[in-house]
DNA sequence: CACACATTTGGTAGCGCTATCAGGTAGCGC
DNA sequence: GCGCTACCTGATAGCGCTACCAAATGTGTG
């Protein structure tokens, strides 16, 4: 009478149900699904049939608990507006999914405090790996990461002090190269407009621009930065303010394409010819730079390639094939010379 | 001697460790963390202290297994390039995080097959809810969803046949209203360029345009669609091809801002004046439409608002306060009349 | 002081799965 | 046939947590 009082099962089909229905042991079913090669073909087929018939979906929580492993990879994204999102994540996720991992994405809005808080929530899932953007983290974040068993991957910029794995590009070099290109083209009064001024990426870009200017005996005096997200407004404002500071300005480097958009519109409004009156370039170009009028000289970063390299590096680490492997990969960049310079 | 041979614990601090160290029972610790009001203040404080001291992080897998509930919400995103991503997800995630839920994001690339596959993977996590974009799903997807205990939320478009909850806008109406606006402004030869032609959103937009044209005795004959993602190229191509078909074309509606960008550039290239020679509008405007030259008349959708309404609706459902509640919310849209028409 | 009642605490028995090991079966050489 | 390895299969004992009861403690009433 007092039989099933204590049951609180979810009603879902369980591994045991499959086992009973197939007339085999539970372990055999478990193996048939995870390591099929360890099960005879006969049983494997029979089990597969029952699985489909019953619509069995494994309970990952139980699996994770029993094995102490998990197939989730935590990714903390600083911004959804970035190109990273549209170009990087799809490729990255695809490769990881194929290897059986699940991305769990959090959003930090470029705040290291939020990053830290998110991280401690995400670590409760016991993820196999944690993927972060940028190289700036709170001390507590670094401590949490080092205490966790998870593999750590830092993306977006090459960082000497990376915790574990690191895939990215050298923003100092890219900015320097862009500046050198402009100088080679004969431009001399080169200004810089950048967003997210508190991020180390922008600081590196600024230093790259300054270095290239100085090595050519030019003064890197005029620049405008904002700590906001890159936007069109900043580009408009940049052209306006910098032209006031330096009326004979002849070139402008924008850290982001959105800024370059704004700058382009502002130049149109002022009937400034590009590149005759002023050259316009950006450091993270994609389709807009390639298609607008005039087409903009820009640094292009292959985020899909970055995703591929990053995912594969991470997988090697997760499968323990990373003994004698580079832990840091520089993706490089391409300077696309176009009509705007 | 044969004591600890069988241990395979992860080495992490567990709830039992905290309980022992605090000198209380495990259940009391569990309650102190999840339902503090059920524990006396004295014990609560003592436990909190020990938790911090030991750096205890709860194991969610175990919790989910024991309670049969999970705090993960699966979100299947069709595209990362969309505005949905940058505007919707941050707000949506923030509200859900605050309520203690975790977003697990998958990427379907607008393929209902991939959506189905992703879904079955994500359901293994036993999510509290599943959030999908669009209204088109495979039969198997619908079956999986209905079998699962999870709450279902369909986003982006209002859909009569929604499975459960539904928050979105009426794309038929928005397109119709835009067309009416153009007609009211005196434009008559109005063409349409749209991307993702196999999605029902675009089909509704096309029908809205057609309906508005017909009710004004105008022929909705000229349009160009592509099943690709919206891009600048399509806008350029649209202007070129439609102008060939109909040289006296006087207005163009673009389904996406990217297309409008391309159209704008192509018009500049052809030295067509906007709106004197041709009006240009789009159905999902944001900053570009607002800032480019001339500024584009566009339909604006408040994705942050959509996120707020959707998240709150979902939370009500998850806490069971949804008995006499609307299951479907129309977010509405705003027609921003600007210089381009 | 006995009693009902509310509040706080802890023991126990799972949740559904996998690691581990023991048992069974088959194949092979002597 | 026997011993030996190689392989396949299943019983058992947890993984760390929470639902469910039961016990303990406090509180107010007659």
From the list A65, A89, A261, which residue is nearest B107 (CB)?
Answer: A89
Q: Does residue A99 fall inside a structural domain?
A: yes
Q: Does residue A65 fall inside a structural domain?
A: no
Percent of chain B with pLDDT strictly greater than 70: 96
Name the domain count of chain B: 3
Grouping H, G, I as helix, E, B as strand and the rest as coil, residue A110 is coil
Closest CA to B251 of B204, B187, B159, B206: B187
pLDDT at position A100 over 90: no
Nucleotide with minimal C1' distance from the CA of B67 is: D18
Q: Do A214 and A279 have their domain in common?
A: yes
From the list B68, B122, B268, which residue is nearest A10 (CB)?
Answer: B68
Average pLDDT, chain B: 92
**Which H, E and C letters describe chain B, residue by residue?**
CCCHHHCCCCCCCCHHHHHHHHCCCHHHHHHHHHCHHHCCHHHHHHHHHHHHHHCCCCCHHHHHHHHCCCCEEEEEECCCCCHHHHHHHHHHHHHHHHCCCEEEEEECCCCHHHHHHHHHHHHCCCCCEEEEECCCCCHHHHHHHHHCCCEEEEEEECCCCCCCEEEEECHHHHHHHHHHHHHHCCCCCEEEEEECCCCHHHHHHHHHHHHHHHHCCCCCCCEEEECCCCCHHHHHHHHHHHHHHCCCCCEEEECCHHHHHHHHHHHHHCCCCCCCCCEEEECCCCHHHHHCCCCCEEEECCHHHHHHHHHHHHHHHHCCCCCCCCCEEECCCEEECCCCC
Picking from B20, B37, B58, the residue at the C-terminal end of a domain is B58
Q: Do B228 and B137 have their domain in common?
A: no
Q: Which nucleotides of D are covered by protein (CB under 7 A)?
A: 8-21
Picking from A35, A58, A81, the residue at the C-terminal end of a domain is A58
Q: What is the mean pLDDT of residues A199-223?
A: 97
> Does residue B89 contact residue B311 with C-beta atoms inside 8 Å?
no
Q: What is the mean pLDDT of residues B36-43?
A: 92
pLDDT at position A315 over 70: yes
Q: Do B190 and B295 have their domain in common?
A: yes
User: Nearest chain B Cα to A70, which residue?
Assistant: B61
Q: Do B181 and B293 have their domain in common?
A: yes
Q: How confident is the model at residue B324 (pLDDT cuts 50, 70, 90)?
A: low
Q: Do A127 and A178 have their domain in common?
A: no
Picking from A21, A38, A58, the residue at the C-terminal end of a domain is A58
Q: Do B208 and B281 have their domain in common?
A: yes
Percent of chain A with pLDDT strictly greater than 90: 80
Q: Do B314 and B165 have their domain in common?
A: yes
User: Nearest chain B Cα to A108, which residue?
Assistant: B90
Q: Do B226 and B295 have their domain in common?
A: yes
Q: Does residue B314 fall inside a structural domain?
A: yes
Which of B11, B102, B142 to mutate against chain A (most A CBs within 10 Å)?
B102
Instruction: Say which CATH number the domain at A15 has.
Output: 1.10.260.40
B22 CA from D24 C1′ (Å) = 19
Q: Considering only CB atoms, which chain A residues are within 8 Å of B236?
A: 291
Q: Does residue A327 fall inside a structural domain?
A: yes
Instruction: Say which CATH number the domain at B147 has.
Output: 3.40.50.2300
Residues lying close to strand C (Cβ under 7 A), chosen from 17-56 of chain B, are 24-28, 31, 38-40, 42-43
Which of A74, A125, A144 to mutate against chain B (most B CBs within 10 Å)?
A125
Percent of chain B with pLDDT strictly greater than 90: 80
pLDDT at position A1 over 50: no
Q: What is the pLDDT of residue A81?
A: 87
Boundaries of domain holding B126:
71-169+304-331
Q: Which two tokens stand for residue B270?
A: 């052809």
Contact A149 B10 (CB under 8 A): yes
Name A144's Cβ contacts closer than 8 Å, sequence gap at least 6.
Answer: A116, A119, A120, A123
Which of B33, B70, B88, B105 to mutate against chain A (most A CBs within 10 Å)?
B105
pLDDT at position A3 over 50: no
Q: Does residue B113 fall inside a structural domain?
A: yes
B71 touches strand D (CB under 7 A): no
Q: What is the pLDDT of residue B1?
A: 29
**What are the b/e assignments for A55-92, b being 16+ CB within 10 Å?**
ebbbbbbbbbbeeeebbbbbbbbbbbbbbbbbbbbbbb
pLDDT at position A87 over 70: yes
Q: Does residue B64 fall inside a structural domain?
A: no
Q: Do A41 and A98 have their domain in common?
A: no
Q: What is the pLDDT of residue B322?
A: 66
Chains A, B: CB contacts under 8 A, how many? Answer: 142
Average pLDDT, chain A: 92
Q: What is the pLDDT of residue A9?
A: 62
Q: How confident is the model at residue B300 (pLDDT cuts 50, 70, 90)?
A: very high
Query: What is the Cα–Cα distance from B161 to B177, expressed in whole angstroms?
Result: 24
Q: Do A296 and A310 have their domain in common?
A: no
Q: Do A54 and A143 have their domain in common?
A: no
Q: What is the mean pLDDT of residues B86-115?
A: 91
pLDDT at position A105 over 60: yes
Q: What is the mean pLDDT of residues B218-222?
A: 97
pLDDT at position A2 over 80: no
Structure confidence by residue, pLDDT tens digits, A51-80: 999 989 999 999 999 998 888 999 999 998
Structure confidence by residue, pLDDT tens digits, B108-159: 989 999 899 889 888 988 899 999 999 999 998 998 898 888 999 999 999 9
pLDDT at position A160 over 70: yes
Q: How far is A186 from chain B (nearest CA, A)?
A: 27
Q: What is the mean pLDDT of residues B87-107?
A: 91
Query: What is the Cα–Cα distance from A283 to A323, expressed in whole angstroms?
Result: 35
The two beta strands, A297-300 and A334-336, are antiparallel
Q: What is the mean pLDDT of residues B66-82?
A: 91
Least confident of A166-170, A243-247, B321-325: B321-325
A66 touches strand C (CB under 7 A): yes
Q: Does residue B2 fall inside a structural domain?
A: no
Q: Do A292 and A202 have their domain in common?
A: yes
Q: Does residue B133 fall inside a structural domain?
A: yes
Least confident of A57-71, B9-23, B42-56, B182-196: B9-23
């Amino acid at each position: 009478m007092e039989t099933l009082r204590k049951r609180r099962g979810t009603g879902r089909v369980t591994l045991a149900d499959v086992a009973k229905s197939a007339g085999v042991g539970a372990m055999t079913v478990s193996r048939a699904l995870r390591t099929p090669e360890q099960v005879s073909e006969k049983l494997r087929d029979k089990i597969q049939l029952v699985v489909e018939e019953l619509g069995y979906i494994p309970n990952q929580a139980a699996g994770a608990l029993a094995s102490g492993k998990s197939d989730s990879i935590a990714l903390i994204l600083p911004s959804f507006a970035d190109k990273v999102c549209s170009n990087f994540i799809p490729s990255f996720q695809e490769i990881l999914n194929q290897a059986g991992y699940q991305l769990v994405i959090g959003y930090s809005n470029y705040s290291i405090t939020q990053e830290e808080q998110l991280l401690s929530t995400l670590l409760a899932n016991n993820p196999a790996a944690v993927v972060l953007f940028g190289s700036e983290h709170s001390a507590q974040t670094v401590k949490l990461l080092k205490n966790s068993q998870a593999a750590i991957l830092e993306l977006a910029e090459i960082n000497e002090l990376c915790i574990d794995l690191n895939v990215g590009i050298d923003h100092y070099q890219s900015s320097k190269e862009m500046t050198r290109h402009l100088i080679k083209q004969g431009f001399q009064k080169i200004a810089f407009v950048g967003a997210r001024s508190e991020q180390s990426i922008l600081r590196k870009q600024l230093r790259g621009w300054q270095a290239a200017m100085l090595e050519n005996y030019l003064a890197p005096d005029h620049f405008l930065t904002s700590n906001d997200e890159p936007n069109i407004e900043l580009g408009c404002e940049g052209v306006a303010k910098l032209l006031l500071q330096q009326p004979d300005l002849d070139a402008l480097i924008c850290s982001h394409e959105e800024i370059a958009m704004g700058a382009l519109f502002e130049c149109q409004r002022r009937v400034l010819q590009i590149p005759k009156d002023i050259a316009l370039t950006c450091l993270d170009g994609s389709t807009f730079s390639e298609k607008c009028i005039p087409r903009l000289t820009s640094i292009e970063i292959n985020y899909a390639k970055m995703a591929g390299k990053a995912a594969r590096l991470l997988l090697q680490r997760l499968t323990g094939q990373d003994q004698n492997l580079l832990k840091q990969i520089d993706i490089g960049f391409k300077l696309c010379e176009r009509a705007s310079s």
